[in-house]
Amino acid sequence: MPLQTGWKHFPFHEVSLEPGNFADGLKGLRIVQLSDLHLKRSLDISYLELLVKKINALNPDLVVFTGDILQTFAYRLRKHFHAFSALESPAYYVTGNHDVVYGPKSLKKELFKYNIFCLDNRISMLNIINTPLQLVGLADRYSFARGIKRPIEELFSGLDENISTILLAHQPKDIEHIGKHRIDIQLSGHTHAGQLYPFNKLVKRLQPYFAGQYIHGKTILYVTRGLGYWGPAIRYKAPSEIPVFTLI
């Protein structure tokens, strides 16, 4: 699909991840990643309602949003957010740079109504298949514009090194902060894989982690092309993507 337009695609992409140190009890874990939705009031709510139905049919253990949910102010999207109330799996998100622009506090308030929990600079301890799992999230790199600090070393020092860990971070470059800490998997977005050819050639020069799966030390990094659009609802040679991960 070299040319893609509009909100009529449900590009689920099955991806197997095999982190070396992950707990055996978490093999088979299923995660759906939504990223870079860039929601506007003009988006037909029925698209989101059908998207949620299709996600539920996959029966994931987790749904994670890795930033840039907003392309307008959150209060203008209340009816759109209501579509996510039908999600049947636990859901978490971190902010992206566009969320910083349109207001992370109001986004947090609106999504909390539908049990989608903010992980900005937080750790959440989950129990899945009777096995502990740490989810840790970073606020976007541009959060300082809202006076929000990122206490990265303090946050990562709070991780239990004996427990499998997944990091949600909108921008893939945040993998530079992992250092000695145990992060088995990092899920990111942000790049759109350039969204439009030949613009994606420039993006690839600026983003060392452009799209797809990478290995950084002992960490698997997955950078999704994202679901939505920045600017015009057009993608060319950079199709949208909804990764569906299975841990093996």
Residue pair 166/123 in contact (Cβ under 8 Å)? The answer is: no
For 214-237, the DSSP string reads EEETTEEEEE---SS-SSSSEEES
User: pLDDT above 90 covers what percent of the chain?
Assistant: 91
Q: Is the model's pLDDT at 186 over the cut of 90?
A: yes
Q: Is the model's pLDDT at 1 over the cut of 80?
A: no
Task: Kindly report, residue by residue over 190-232, the tens digit of the pLDDT.
Answer: 999 999 888 888 888 888 999 999 999 999 999 999 999 998 8
For 30-70, the DSSP string reads EEEEE----B-TTS-HHHHHHHHHHHHHH--SEEEEES--B
Task: Kindly report, residue by residue over 128-146, the tens digit of the pLDDT.
Answer: 989 999 999 999 999 999 9
Q: Across all residues in the chain, what is the average pLDDT?
A: 95
